[in-house]
């Protein structure tokens, strides 16, 4: 009878107020529950559905939880089995309350009342923290990694028998660009020595934050360089410097005596007398005894005369004098409209070697020095030569890789005449992206199944591409496939080596199952992580459920890799999920100790910047897009 009366009261409350009160005639919320007794004589509280983690895993296979269950709450009575902590249940690793979040397609813990600040604990999976340009500081103690008892003399104690300490790695240019480096700042320079091929641990010895003095701490314990005598009077110069013309290919070799085999950093010395020139010396190491220092001269000499450089390297000094000649070569006009590239096609991201021929009128028969310029990743070099008396051609050697597609303008100036060469760079099938350690890799500019003549960096439906199940070569769906269940969806999981018969570090393409074209393969999760960690991530387009015009862009300098928010096809029926707000891209790496899951690149687009989870995993029967990487 009491239960009947309670139900009647609830219905009356809903009718009268649109709210429910339990043990309360004046509810203050949609449901307002008041304890029947507050003296502990009766059990009080709210009991949500109680399920095991494995039951939620089985529900995932049935497609039970989706957008309609966003916010559903359950109490997990037993953690999911280790092999079932994947997909929606990847975080169901302990007893407690959980809620379902459709944006991440998974269960999340509620009200965890312990943290690293007040309790011991164990990470159950990778954790990622976006600093959002904020600082994180620890004071009043010591930090230990690999040890529970940091040494009392150390603020940071790293302990390991099989791992080392990896300082920030950067190029020499990046190292020199650090603003106000602290005295004692340590970095690893990846290209400071060996002509850009050797790296070294570097420390800033300067107490003046405005002027850095980087010294080497190489593993071979090479000393700081020292020479007895730098002999500018015996210098030899290849090429001639002319006034008013950019110096190109001018190399000065200066002998020295008494080298100690030590290292020296890079130097730049500006000219006096005739100004506008710079003598540059790359960082390297000295010979033991006598040797040569090789300087490159760049810039534009301000006048005819002598350019002087006061040089100090490895403790020795001298003054280098370089004569500057008048530039007498002249033409009446340049005909850029008749300029010809050979080969004619320049493609973004593809190495180019060829020539650019530009006709001229009214040459005066005078000699001219080498000249060069760089545009859009291409270097144009005009070798030293002599003009025709009358009409002729300037022939530039062109090498490099165009970084941006579309219209390209090459400004040409020679002998008192100027013009612009207009060219078109074709959209490339691949793009070079930063991968860390001063390395780049070519990634396919488009997802598989896309017409590669389309601009890959403008998000529209036609660049979403195909969906593939993990380990399979067959297309499971495409951007035009209706969003509902797909008849005959394959529920069989592919074996571990379906896309990679090698290892994670040395992958080998399994051509029988890999859908990527020749020269490309499905990337490993390690390669996805390198992409995520070494490129800038931004958003483009309009984000929202079902949107075709939302994407995340990875940028390496001017190079861009655009990944549309294509969503996914779910594992049991192939129904579409999260298009416009999320992206899932397969890796070739299977999830450890599981025959049903594999790693993927997972991107949640709604935060700004986007949340990139390069260690996520999904069910192998899910359907995701594929972005290939070069072999």
| Mean predicted confidence (pLDDT) in 246-266 | 92
Average pLDDT over the chain, rounded to an integer: 88
| Mean predicted confidence (pLDDT) in 335-343 | 97
| Mean predicted confidence (pLDDT) in 375-386 | 94
Q: How much is the pLDDT for 124?
A: 66
> Which residue has tokens 């002027």?
211
As a whole number of angstroms, the distance between CA 304 and CA 324 comes to: 5
DSSP 129: -
First to last CA, the chain: 75
State the pLDDT confidence band at 437, using cuts at 50, 70 and 90: confident
Q: How much is the pLDDT for 576?
A: 95
Q: How much is the pLDDT for 260?
A: 87
Do the Cβ atoms of 476 and 466 come closer than 8 Å? Answer: yes
State the pLDDT confidence band at 222, using cuts at 50, 70 and 90: low
Asked if residue 2 has pLDDT above 90, the reply is: no
Q: 520-521 and 629-630: which strand pairing?
A: antiparallel
**E-state strands within 89-179:** 96-101, 106-109, 143-145, 156-158, 169-170
Q: How much is the pLDDT for 122?
A: 67
Residue-by-residue DSSP string for 29-94: SSEEE--S-SSSSS--S----EEEHHHHHHHHHHT--SGGGTT-EEEEEEPPPGGG-SGGGTT--S
What are the tens digits of pLDDT across the range 556-599? Answer: 988 899 999 999 999 999 999 999 999 999 999 999 889 999 99
Least confident of 242-251, 462-471, 604-613: 604-613
Quick check: helix, strand or coil at residue 520?
strand
Greater confidence (7 vs 442) lies with: 442
What are the tens digits of pLDDT across the range 15-62? Answer: 444 688 888 888 888 788 888 888 888 888 888 999 999 999 999 888
Count of CB atoms situated within 10 Å of the CB of 59: 18
Q: How much is the pLDDT for 13?
A: 43
Greater confidence (622 vs 607) lies with: 622
Asked if residue 97 has pLDDT above 80, the reply is: yes
Quick one: what percent of the chain has pLDDT higher than 70? 93
As a whole number of angstroms, the distance between CA 248 and CA 250 comes to: 6
Q: How much is the pLDDT for 140?
A: 72
What are the tens digits of pLDDT across the range 99-145? Answer: 999 888 889 998 765 556 555 666 666 777 777 777 777 777 788 88
- Give this prediction's pTM: 0.48
Domain range annotation of the chain: 2-33, 50-109, 169-216, 229-325, 333-426, 430-630
Q: How much is the pLDDT for 10?
A: 47
Quick check: helix, strand or coil at residue 381?
strand
Residue-by-residue DSSP string for 173-230: HHHHT-SSPPTT-EEEEEEEETTTTEEEEEEE--S-TTS--EEE--TT-PPBP--SEE
E strand or H helix at 10:
helix 2-17
Least confident of 342-351, 375-384, 535-544: 342-351
> Which residue has tokens 């609830």?
10
Asked if residue 298 has pLDDT above 80, the reply is: yes
DSSP 462: G
| Mean predicted confidence (pLDDT) in 306-311 | 98
Q: How much is the pLDDT for 481?
A: 96
Structurally, at CATH architecture level, domain 229-325 sits in Sandwich (2.60)
Least confident of 199-203, 250-254, 499-503: 199-203
E strand or H helix at 307:
strand 305-313
In the CATH hierarchy, which top-level class contains the domain 333-426? Answer: mainly beta
| Mean predicted confidence (pLDDT) in 225-229 | 92
Q: How much is the pLDDT for 313?
A: 95
Tell me if 229-325 shares its fold with 333-426. Answer: yes
State the pLDDT confidence band at 602, using cuts at 50, 70 and 90: very high
Greater confidence (174 vs 427) lies with: 174
What are the tens digits of pLDDT across the range 450-497? Answer: 988 888 999 999 999 999 999 999 999 999 999 999 999 999 999 999
């Amino acid at each position: 009878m009491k239960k009947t009366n309670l139900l009647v009261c609830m219905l009356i409350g809903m009718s009268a107020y649109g709210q429910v009160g339990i043990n309360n005639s004046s509810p203050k919320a949609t449901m307002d529950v008041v304890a029947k007794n507050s003296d502990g004589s009766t059990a009080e509280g709210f009991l949500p559905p109680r399920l095991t983690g494995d039951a939620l895993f089985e529900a995932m296979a049935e497609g039970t939880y989706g957008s309609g269950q966003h916010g559903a709450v359950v109490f997990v009575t037993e953690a999911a089995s280790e092999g079932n902590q994947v997909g929606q249940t990847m975080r169901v690793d302990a007893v407690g309350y959980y809620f379902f979040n459709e944006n991440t397609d998974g269960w999340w813990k509620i009200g965890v009342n312990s943290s690293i600040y007040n309790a011991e604990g164990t990470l159950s999976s990778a954790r990622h923290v976006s600093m959002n340009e904020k600082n994180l500081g620890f004071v009043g103690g010591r930090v230990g990694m690999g040890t529970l008892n940091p040494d009392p003399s150390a603020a940071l104690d790293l302990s390991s028998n099989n791992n080392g300490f990896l300082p920030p790695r950067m190029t020499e240019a990046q190292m020199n660009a650090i603003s106000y480096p602290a005295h004692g700042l340590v970095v690893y320079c990846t290209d400071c020595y060996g002509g850009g091929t050797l790296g070294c641990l570097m420390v800033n010895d300067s107490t003046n934050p405005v002027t850095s003095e980087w010294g080497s701490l190489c593993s071979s314990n090479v000393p700081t360089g020292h020479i007895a005598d730098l002999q500018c009077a015996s210098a030899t110069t290849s090429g001639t410097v002319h006034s008013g013309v950019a110096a190109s290919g001018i190399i000065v070799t200066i002998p020295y005596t008494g080298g100690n085999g030590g290292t020296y950093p890079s130097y730049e010395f500006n000219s006096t007398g005739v100004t506008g020139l710079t003598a540059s010396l790359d960082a390297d190491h000295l010979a033991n005894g006598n040797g040569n220092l090789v300087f490159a001269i760049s810039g534009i000499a301000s006048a005819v005369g002598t350019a002087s450089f006061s040089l100090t390297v490895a403790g020795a000094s001298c003054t280098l004098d370089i004569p500057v000649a008048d530039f007498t070569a002249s033409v009446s006009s340049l005909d850029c409209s008749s300029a010809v590239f050979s080969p004619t096609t320049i493609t973004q991201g593809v190495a180019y070697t060829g020539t650019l021929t530009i006709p001229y009128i009214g040459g005066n028969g005078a000699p001219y020095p080498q000249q060069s310029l760089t545009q859009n990743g291409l270097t144009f070099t005009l070798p030293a030569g002599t003009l025709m008396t009358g009409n002729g051609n300037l022939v530039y050697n062109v090498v490099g890789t165009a970084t941006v597609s579309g219209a390209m303008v090459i400004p040409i100036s020679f002998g008192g005449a100027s013009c612009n060469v207009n060219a078109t760079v074709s959209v490339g099938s691949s793009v070079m992206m930063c991968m860390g350690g001063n390395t780049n890799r070519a990634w396919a500019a488009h997802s598989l199944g896309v017409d590669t003549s389309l601009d890959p960096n403008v998000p529209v439906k036609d660049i979403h591409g195909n969906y593939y199940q993990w380990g399979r070569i067959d297309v499971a769906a495409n951007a035009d496939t209706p969003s509902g269940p797909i008849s005959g969806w394959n529920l069989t999981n592919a074996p571990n080596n379906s896309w990679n018969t090698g290892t994670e570090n040395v992958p080998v393409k399994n051509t029988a199952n890999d859908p990527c074209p020749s020269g490309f393969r499905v990337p490993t999760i390690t390669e996805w992580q390198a992409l995520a960690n070494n490129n800038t991530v931004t958003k483009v387009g309009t984000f929202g459920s079902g949107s075709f015009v939302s994407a995340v862009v990875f940028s390496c300098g001017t190079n861009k890799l655009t990944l549309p928010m294509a969503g996914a096809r779910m594992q049991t029926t192939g129904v579409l999920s999260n298009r416009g707000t999320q992206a899932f891209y397969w890796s070739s790496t299977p999830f450890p100790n599981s025959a049903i899951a594999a790693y993927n690149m997972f991107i949640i687009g709604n935060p700004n910047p986007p949340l990139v989870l390069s260690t996520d995993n999904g069910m192998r029967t899910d359907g995701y897009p594929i972005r290939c990487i070069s072999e």
